Amino acid sequence: MVELQINTTQNVNINFVAASVGERILAYIIDLIIKLAYVVVTYQIVFKLFNINEVIEDMDFWSQIAVVVSFYLPVVFYSLIFETFLDGQTIGKRIMKIKVVKIDGYQASIYDYLVRWFFRIIDLNLLGPVFGPVVALITIITSKKSQRLGDMTAGTSVITLKNNVNISHTILEDLDDHYVPTYPNVIRLSDNDARIIKDTYTRAKASKDYETLIKLRKKIIEVIELKEYNQHDIEFIDTILKDYNYYTQNM
């Protein structure tokens, strides 16, 4: 198990568990099976059932290529499409409960997914679907952050979501029935923001790292655009987490 330590732009260290090589291989195989199934179904239904070959036989060579390739574009852009719309996961990654994240602690953008997809040409597809992954496998094993070439270029890595957690390890907070929130601006935060805040807050509080708590408090104030508050750092962050839970659970 490789622990992935992410240093945010606020110099706050966050720890994740990098997805294992086995998990990533299984996710790749699942995705490969799905893509092969699509190719087979497309060929059987579109090309055979509707006789596409006869339709395009009078076209010039490049027009024929364009028509054939258009049917297989979903296979070409498979990882880019799914990682973009499934929050860093393909179907294989979702089944294996792993996902792509930025190594600065923030959610990967479509640009990051595009860079990862482009570099698949080199570290996954260069030697074909069977031997191509060997390049990526070697890179992942030798990388300190379990990154393939596409990850290194995009500044991403793949983490596991299979951690055995209880409420103290999640963004959930115990709230009594009469809890009254203090900062409605917390709705500006995302679940990922809240998770990062709680992880960082829990470790900094336990180690009495007051400098990190101050930086975390300042960043929260900046993100939620808070004008006024009258609590010290620990009490303020604790209230932020409870308020976030209050508003998101009651939406």
Is residue 83 scored above 90 in pLDDT? yes
Decide which of 139 and 61 is more confident.
Answer: 139
3-state helix, strand, coil in the chain (%, to 5): 60, 10, 30
| Span 210-230, pLDDT tens digits | 888 888 888 888 888 888 888
pLDDT of residue 173: 55
Provide the pLDDT for residue 90: 95
Give the domain ranges of the chain.
Answer: 3-160, 167-249
Average model confidence (pLDDT) across the chain: 79
- Overall average pLDDT of the 83-109 stretch: 87
- Comparing 250 with 150, which gets the higher pLDDT? 150
163-200 per-position pLDDT tens digit:
544 334 444 555 666 788 888 888 888 877 888 888 88
Q: Is 111 helix (H, G, I), strand (E, B) or coil?
A: helix
pLDDT band at 14 (very low <50, low <70, confident <90, very high): low
Long-range pairs of 164-171 with CB within 8 A, sequence gap ≥ 24: 168/202, 170/195, 170/198, 171/195, 171/198, 171/241, 171/244, 171/245
Quick check: 54 pLDDT over 70?
A: no
Q: What number is the average pLDDT over the span 66-89?
A: 87
User: Which distant-in-sequence residues (6+ apart) come within 8 Å of 180 by Cβ?
Assistant: none
Please name the amino acid found at residue 206.
A
User: Which of 16 and 36 is assigned the larger pLDDT?
Assistant: 36
Where are any strands of DSSP class E within the chain? Answer: 3-7, 13-17, 98-102, 156-160
Residue type, 123: D
Comparison of pLDDT for 67 and 212, the residue scoring more: 212
Average pLDDT score over residue span 4-23: 65
What's 86's DSSP letter?
Answer: T
Q: 3-class SS at 83?
A: helix
